[in-house]
Chain A
Amino acid sequence: MTVAIEVRNLHKTFRGGVTALEDVSFQVESGTVFGLLGPNGAGKTTIVRILTTIIMPDSGVATIMGVDVTKSAQQVREHLGLAGQAAAVDERLTAEENLFMIGRLNHLPKQVARARSAELLHDFGLEYAAKRVLSTYSGGMRRRLDLAAALVAQPPVLFLDEPTTGLDPKSRNDLWEIIEKLLADGTTVLLTTQYLEEADRLASRIAVVDHGLVIAEGTPNELKASFGATVLELSFQDETIAIKAQEAVSTLASAPIQQVENRLELPVADGAATTALVLGRLLNEKINPTKINLREPSLDDVFLALTDQPATVLSEEK
């Protein structure tokens, strides 16, 4: 594997004594999407700002394609793109002017900057608004342009710092589709997000960050498997039958069974196989469930297990 981004023992304390990063290490394989998942204030943005040479770490090593971000900042800057949570575009310029400006500041020749600008406006479906001043843009359009600006110089490494925070579901979905298309061409992406759904959909590996530490790392499936079990949900005609069923299958569950009214929730280690056994037992006892549902663990469950806080609470902490 080729490592595109490497972070080793990164530590950062801001003036005033706030420790943003305790000790952070991870590697991102070239051509993959790596998700940094965590609540507000976890240190995600600090990691991105260090990797994009905006601020310096107090200690630790950060490299992009083998180049040290603190020692060779200028060289690193030529090969990264950054799209931030605060859409960093000039309100009073048109979309075209913004992209051309960023192209020039990326040291592209004028014709190339102009061509890239036109190409990106087309790809991002903003051609119709190319000559409009950005203060007339909607939030979703602005984010799209911000992402386009990060791509002007065709960087091999892209940083997306909470790209969809604050967007409505439709705009979020549009942006996800664009990002997915991008990923097809082999760009390495570091994505930070507080949305589990976003990390699950886009990232091939995820590090969960909390209080300046990586508290878990793995593929979305690995995380789900280790921090949340598959749950078999069964409903019956009434509570008596549900209790009878609970007795019949109690030895099959991997954790205590939850019984609420006429419903049972069975944590099952290997979902499908155990489900078959459960149904066999019930058939023997002549008990017919009225409803069967196998619920795969969500990253919400992972979050809950790791941080002792429901993810919804975490994301509402704004």
Chain B
Amino acid sequence: MALAELTTYPHRSRLYWMAADALTITKRNLLNYVRIPQSLVFSTIQPVMFVLLFRYVFGGAIGSETSRLGISYVNYLMPGIFIQTIAFGSVQTGVGLAEDLQKGIIERFHALPMTRSAVLAGRTIADLIRNMVVIIIMVIVGFLVGFRIGTNFGEFLAGIGIALLFAYALSWFFALIGLAAPNSETAQVMAFPLLFPLTFASSAFVPVQTMPSWLRGFANHQPLSVAVNAARSLMDGPIAAHAAGSSTGTLAITAIVWCVGLLIIMVPLSVNIYRKRV
């Protein structure tokens, strides 16, 4: 019996199976999240505490700075919180991938005719969907603590879109870390020293103008600030763009270029390392 004779099902293109495999793995990862709801609950509690902390504890002090820029602190804060929350959520990509690599199921995957990159694609897409759920919760929390859209619903959605695009690009970056880490615990520990300066030496919580001049350059131009500035301008209006020294359009385009650039570098790099590692 020749191998060719054994294939009895209609032939589909490679591209079809590439997408189908990624979808199958996405579904598997989402089911994994749903089966441990505690993880989703607790990973949402932390950002909610951040909102309360900044809105009600630090907000009074920082608020005087932002009102000088013409923006109430809650409106300044929430776009930053959206991006910070899903940036932290993207770490899960690396953790999940490292966890997968420790399991026997990956061996089985590699003896299957599936597309190898589907393990990475399915992981990042599942995390994107998870981030969408988290961001919806955060928007509701935002409205509850007094956040209001300063533009229109369309621009607000565009801001959310930029936040998600940024989270997706970041997911691929953390995938790289997950592939380098020996286990999931280490992947988690490795991610934070990178994430912390990105989140806090940024325009997410405080206006960059209040920082020492040596820090301002980094804080203004690093990708997380770029994404926050774009999202903030799209949600709060031109006054926020002005505070960042630019226009909404320029900020949005800069953010998109950053994200696409990150993806162009990170996707092939991760896929390549994944192929070599297994």
Q: Is A88 a contact partner of B105 (Cβ separation < 8 A)?
A: yes
A107 at the A/B interface (Cβ < 8 Å)?
yes
A138 at the A/B interface (Cβ < 8 Å)?
no
Q: Is B104 a contact partner of A105 (Cβ separation < 8 A)?
A: no
- B12-45 contact mask (Cβ, 8 Å, vs A): 1 or 0: 1000010011001001100110011000000000
B108 at the A/B interface (Cβ < 8 Å)?
yes
A-B contacts, 22 listed (Cβ < 8 Å): A52-B111, A54-B278, A65-B2, A66-B2, A77-B111, A77-B113, A79-B3, A88-B105, A88-B107, A88-B108, A92-B31, A92-B36, A93-B32, A102-B108, A104-B24, A105-B113, A105-B114, A105-B118, A106-B114, A107-B9, A107-B114, A108-B9
Q: Is A78 a contact partner of B9 (Cβ separation < 8 A)?
A: no
Please judge, given known A-B contacts A54-B107, A78-B3, A79-B3, whether A107 and B113 are in contact too, CB under 8 Å: yes
With beta carbons under 8 angstroms apart, the residue of A53, A109, A133 that contacts B110 is A53
- Supply 15 further A-B pairs (C-beta < 8 A) apart from A90-B28, A106-B112, A156-B6: A52-B111, A78-B3, A78-B7, A84-B104, A88-B103, A88-B104, A97-B28, A102-B108, A104-B21, A104-B24, A105-B118, A106-B114, A107-B9, A107-B12, A107-B20
Instruction: Tell me, in angstroms, the Cα distance from A30 to B1 when the chains sit together.
Output: 10
Q: Give residues 159-193 of B contacting A (CB, 8 Å).
A: none
Name A152's closest neighbour in chain B (CB-CB): B112
Please judge, given known A-B contacts A86-B104, A88-B105, whether A75 and B111 are in contact too, CB under 8 Å: no
- A71-103 contact mask (Cβ, 8 Å, vs B): 1 or 0: 000110111101010111110110001000110
A252 at the A/B interface (Cβ < 8 Å)?
no
A112 at the A/B interface (Cβ < 8 Å)?
yes
A149 at the A/B interface (Cβ < 8 Å)?
yes
Q: Is B9 a contact partner of A105 (Cβ separation < 8 A)?
A: no
With beta carbons under 8 angstroms apart, the residue of B1, B20, B27, B111 that contacts A82 is B111
In the bound complex, residues from chain A placing their C-beta under 8 Å from that of B105 are 88-90
A67 at the A/B interface (Cβ < 8 Å)?
yes
Please judge, given known A-B contacts A90-B28, A90-B32, A105-B24, whether A149 and B111 are in contact too, CB under 8 Å: no
In the bound complex, residues from chain A placing their C-beta under 8 Å from that of B278 are 54
Chain A: minimal CB distance from B125 (Å): 15
With beta carbons under 8 angstroms apart, the residue of A82, A93, A108, A112 that contacts B28 is A93
Instruction: Tell me, in angstroms, the Cα distance from A105 to B105 when the chains sit together.
Output: 12
- A129-152 contact mask (Cβ, 8 Å, vs B): 1 or 0: 000010000000000000001000
Q: Interface residues of B, CB < 8 Å — how many?
A: 31
In the bound complex, residues from chain B placing their C-beta under 8 Å from that of A84 are 104, 107-108
Chain A: minimal CB distance from B219 (Å): 40
Chain B: minimal CB distance from A61 (Å): 17
In the bound complex, residues from chain B placing their C-beta under 8 Å from that of A102 are 108, 112
Q: Is B32 a contact partner of A107 (Cβ separation < 8 A)?
A: no
Q: Give residues 94-120 of B contacting A (CB, 8 Å).
A: 103-105, 107-114, 118
Please judge, given known A-B contacts A77-B112, A87-B104, A109-B10, whether A67 and B3 are in contact too, CB under 8 Å: yes
Chain B: minimal CB distance from A115 (Å): 12
- A33-75 contact mask (Cβ, 8 Å, vs B): 1 or 0: 0000000000000000100111000000000011100000011
Q: Is B9 a contact partner of A109 (Cβ separation < 8 A)?
A: yes
Q: Is B108 a contact partner of A149 (Cβ separation < 8 A)?
A: yes
Q: Is B31 a contact partner of A82 (Cβ separation < 8 A)?
A: no
Chain B: minimal CB distance from A189 (Å): 15
Chain A: minimal CB distance from B1 (Å): 7
Name B31's closest neighbour in chain A (CB-CB): A93
In the bound complex, residues from chain A placing their C-beta under 8 Å from that of B2 are 65-66
Instruction: Tell me, in angstroms, the Cα distance from A102 to B2 when the chains sit together.
Output: 24
Name B4's closest neighbour in chain A (CB-CB): A75
Instruction: Tell me, in angstroms, the Cα distance from A74 to B115 when the chains sit together.
Output: 9
Name A161's closest neighbour in chain B (CB-CB): B107
Q: Is A92 a contact partner of B35 (Cβ separation < 8 A)?
A: yes
Chain B: minimal CB distance from A5 (Å): 13
Please judge, given known A-B contacts A88-B104, A92-B35, whether A54 and B28 are in contact too, CB under 8 Å: no
With beta carbons under 8 angstroms apart, the residue of B1, B28, B36, B111 that contacts A80 is B111
Q: Is A92 a contact partner of B110 (Cβ separation < 8 A)?
A: no
Chain A: minimal CB distance from B33 (Å): 9
In the bound complex, residues from chain B placing their C-beta under 8 Å from that of A30 are 1
With beta carbons under 8 angstroms apart, the residue of A49, A67, A86, A92 that contacts B32 is A92
Q: Is A101 a contact partner of B113 (Cβ separation < 8 A)?
A: no
Name A103's closest neighbour in chain B (CB-CB): B24
Name A76's closest neighbour in chain B (CB-CB): B3
